């Protein structure tokens, strides 16, 4: 599936309803993928570690449904009886309004921070994160991303990037950054990846270095890529290190070709994961 600016169909209405409930206002539900919907999609993608292209492909579509499904599940644990289908329809909207009213929250049908905290207070999705990125992990990402004081286009040539891998979304006007400003922006960008990786590894017995490696992977390849990867699946299944290494090295391609920089990063992320080695190496293809 592929929905982008100019499309008009029932599915666009579903996208708009989901975005609105999640706090990304498409400026009306009209089943037309216009400028405001494109901006809302880009904001949602940027906040969730997806390429901010304003196009709803499989990854963005699935994540929109996952987020609403989590809300529906949390509402059901609060005494409601919704079908968990990932669609922010009228029943979900009305139950959310009732929940907000019962909990003395702003009754707007939007899951902002206060509503989210109340909904998930007894649920893993909003419990305090077990891990944060360590200083070593942060410095590893800083080293690999490299500092760019002015906007540039990365390997994918699709988005402008600045600082330490910050993707500039529509509406942002960032023309130049100091190194300190770029590090502050990176810390802010990493917050959502830290939270999402905490959710993904909930219940697993992992170490700080393993968590750091997965945050680095998610920041570079995307949180959705990690969520649906064989890497995460094999970690959950207790696979051996050789299998985990192979899983990391599946993610070394850009535009269908092997990229040496990605190969080095994936290999170093594996070394971090398996041996707590945060050293950046400059190995060649094996």
Rounded mean pLDDT, 172-182 = 92
Instruction: Kindly report the backbone phi and psi dihedral angles of residue 115, in degrees, each rounded to the nearest multiple of 5, phi listed first.
Output: -65, -40
Distance CA 211, CA 272 (A): 9
Q: Quick check: is 172 in a domain?
A: no
Q: Quick one: 140 and 86 in the same domain?
A: no
* Residue whose C-alpha is closest to residue 24's, from 47, 55, 3: 47
Q: Quick check: is 118 in a domain?
A: yes
Distance CA 80, CA 92 (A): 9
- Token pair, residue 167, equals 């993707």
Q: Quick one: 113 and 143 in the same domain?
A: no
Q: Quick check: is 93 in a domain?
A: yes
The DSSP result for 261-273, as a single string, is: HHHHHHHHHHHHH
Last residue of a domain, one of 95, 126, 157: 126
Q: Quick one: 110 and 48 in the same domain?
A: yes
Check which CATH number belongs to the domain holding 236 and give it: 1.10.530.40
Could you give the count of Cα atoms lying within 13 Å of 37 in the half-sphere of its Cβ? 23
Q: Quick one: 102 and 141 in the same domain?
A: no
Least confident of 34-38, 151-155, 227-231, 264-268: 151-155
Q: Quick one: 21 and 111 in the same domain?
A: yes
Instruction: List beta partners, residue 163.
Output: 148
Q: Quick check: is 26 in a domain?
A: yes
DSSP conformation class of 155 = T
Q: Quick check: is 68 in a domain?
A: yes
Q: Would the pLDDT of 214 be above 50?
A: yes
* Cβ atoms of 57 and 67 closer than 8 Å: no
Cα 188 from chain centroid (whole Å) = 13
Q: Quick one: 241 and 140 in the same domain?
A: yes
Predicted confidence (pLDDT) per residue in 43-97, tens digit: 999 888 888 899 999 889 989 999 998 999 889 888 888 888 899 999 999 999 9
Output the pTM of the full model: 0.61
Q: Quick one: 115 and 139 in the same domain?
A: no
Q: Quick check: is 29 in a domain?
A: yes
Element (H, E) at 254: strand 253-254
Contacts of 173 (CB under 8 A, 6+ apart): none
* Cβ atoms of 63 and 224 closer than 8 Å: yes
| Domain extent for 243 | 135-147+177-275
Number of domains in the chain: 2
Split at pLDDT 50, 70, 90, the class of 129 is: low
Q: Strand locations in 84-199, DSSP E?
A: 148-153, 160-163, 166-167
């Amino acid at each position: 599936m592929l929905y982008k600016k100019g499309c008009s169909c029932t599915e666009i209405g579903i996208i708009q309803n989901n975005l609105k409930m999640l706090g990304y206002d498409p400026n009306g539900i009209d089943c037309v993928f216009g400028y405001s919907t494109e901006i809302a999609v880009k904001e949602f993608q940027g906040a969730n570690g997806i390429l901010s292209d304003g196009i709803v492909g499989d990854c963005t579509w699935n994540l929109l449904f996952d987020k609403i499904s989590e809300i529906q599940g949390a509402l059901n644990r609060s005494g409601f009886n919704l079908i968990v289908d990932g669609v922010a329809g009228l029943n979900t909207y009305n139950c959310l309004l009732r929940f907000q009213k019962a909990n003395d929250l702003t009754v707007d049908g939007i899951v902002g921070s206060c509503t989210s905290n109340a909904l998930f207070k007894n649920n893993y999705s909003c419990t305090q994160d077990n891990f944060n990125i360590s200083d070593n992990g942060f410095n590893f990402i800083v080293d690999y991303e490299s500092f760019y004081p002015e906007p540039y286009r990365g390997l994918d040539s699709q988005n402008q990037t600045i600082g330490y891998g910050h993707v500039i979304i529509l509406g942002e006007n960032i023309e130049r950054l100091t190194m300190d400003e770029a590090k502050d922006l990176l810390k802010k960008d990493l917050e959502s990846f830290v939270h999402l990786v905490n959710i993904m590894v909930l219940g697993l017995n992992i170490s700080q270095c393993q968590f750091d490696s997965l945050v680095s992977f998610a920041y570079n390849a995307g949180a959705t890529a990690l969520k649906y990867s064989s890497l995460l699946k094999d970690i959950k299944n207790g696979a051996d290190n050789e299998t985990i290494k192979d899983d990391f090295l599946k993610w070394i391609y850009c535009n269908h070709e092997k990229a040496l920089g990605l190969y080095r990063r994936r290999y170093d992320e594996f070394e971090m994961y398996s041996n707590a080695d945060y050293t950046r190496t400059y190995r060649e293809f094996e």
